[in-house]
Amino acid sequence: MVYKELIPSADEILLEFIEFECTKSFDNKQYLGKSMQSEESPRVYIKDPDGRPPDFLSGIGSVLPIVSVKVKEFLLGTEDAIYFEFIRATVLDYENEIEYYILNILEVLDAFDWEQSDYDLFDEPGPKGNKVIEDLRKTVLIEEKVRGRNLFYVKEFPSKVFISEKLEDQFLKAGIRDFETIDI
């Protein structure tokens, strides 16, 4: 299967969040692949919308994907639905609240192929004695460890969302917009 990196790409003229407020506990649990249903809903402040609300919010910093109701409903209808949870985000444009959800992907895959990928490492190991990639030119994933998943995280890149080409095509056919993909 072909995989890509998923990037929100809402045009700045549409919506871009300018502030993301969450508890320290929520912040510490991001990208770990564990349930966050018991966490307090984050507050997301956005620019005034000049047009239609996008399907994916873009913003600054490392924040879990924030998706529209349309994306949430679509993903709940997929074969991977058991690997997702949606946390209602309080999204404000300083006047109105808009319905959006934080997409938490429940499981981080150990699927990076250290042998087939093309990269350079930092000379020094990471804080846990782990390898740290300095320059990544090509990412290869181990298919047996991906197990046919269509939207997932990989342990070595905790804030990158990977998507199968199959799911990307389904998004496009369903009219889901405001995202880009990058070949890995």
Q: Is 33 exposed, middle or buried (0-12, 13-18, 19+ CB in 10 A)?
A: middle
For range 23-46, the mean pLDDT? 85
Q: How far apart (Å, rounded) are the C-alpha atoms in residues 21 and 45?
A: 8
Q: How far apart (Å, rounded) are the C-alpha atoms in residues 105 and 151?
A: 8
Each residue of 75-110: pLDDT tens digit? 999 999 999 999 988 776 656 677 889 899 998 899
Cβ–Cβ under 8 Å, residues 51 and 3: no
Each residue of 127-181: pLDDT tens digit? 666 777 778 889 999 999 999 999 999 988 877 899 999 999 999 999 998 888 9
Q: How far apart (Å, rounded) are the C-alpha atoms in residues 168 and 162?
A: 10
Each residue of 56-67: pLDDT tens digit? 876 545 568 888
How many residues would you count in the chain?
184
